[in-house]
Amino acid sequence: MTPRVCLVTGASRGIGRAVADRLAAVGHHVALVARSRSAIEEAAADIRARQAGPTVLGVAADLTVPEDVERMFAEVERALGPVEVLVANAGAGSAASLVETTDEQWQHMIELNLTTPFRCVRRALPAMLEAGWGRIVVVASVVAKRGESQVSAYTASKHGVLGLVRAAAAEYARSGVTVNAVCPGYVDTPMTAETIDAISERRGIELAEARRALARRQPIGRLVDPAEVAEAVHFCVVNGAVNGQGINVDGGAVQS
């Protein structure tokens, strides 16, 4: 495939870092984005050291700040050119019963998991449409397709972002731009480690048992590897006939 300019948000660790590594491995130029400058520069340097050839750039930005979204795109465009592949991965989770979910928690989930991807997609589209080619992949979640207790705000935000993906895919289906979502289950990442900590504390069990309990919730009996999610993202990049989809990477928990 022709080397493309790729932008991956939330790329300092976990799924985002695995996605950036996968794209660089096949020769694409990759801009990694995260809030922490030191963390994103470390991640970019690590990929750069292992993947000879493509340009790997680290950009620090807080994507909940609209001005930072514009600055991020402008910095990538100056260094690499127009963004041809956008992977909107940045996000976070929040657990609380519905009646204990505060307005602030709700707003934070909507802002980070729905509004931020919307801003990134809106900013990336004009250059892709002008070129007649583009790939947008949003990392959502299996809870974009089902309800789950104790995470009402997170679930609502992920349902919303899957709706955004489907609407954008329908609107631009004839343009050469595809828009898809990847919907992971529980992935072996620092974010899941926080979930394991919460389970351990809530149930009064050891961390190892909490981890096993979470793994048992997936039919394959284990956590998903970040590289497995990255492979699904790469599939969306190389296959132009896949559009408007929410691709499950969850070991069979949600069957399409």
Sheet holding 85-88, edge to edge: 56-60, 29-34, 5-9, 85-88, 134-139, 177-184, 246-249
Identity (one letter) of the amino acid at 44? A
Distance of CA 94 to the CA centre of its chain: 16
- Residue among 154, 184, 192, 249 flagged as catalytic: 154
Give yes or no for a contact between 33 and 10, defined as CB atoms under 8 angstroms apart.
yes
Task: Report the C-alpha gap between 240 and 162 in whole angstroms.
Answer: 19
Cβ neighbours of residue 59 closer than 8 Å, sequence gap 6 or more: 31, 32, 33, 40, 72, 75, 76
Alpha carbons within 13 angstroms on the beta-carbon side of residue 171 total 11
Task: Report the C-alpha gap between 211 and 200 in whole angstroms.
Answer: 8
State both tokens at 8. 């991956």
Q: Note if 154 is an active site residue.
A: yes
Q: Which residues are catalytic?
A: 154
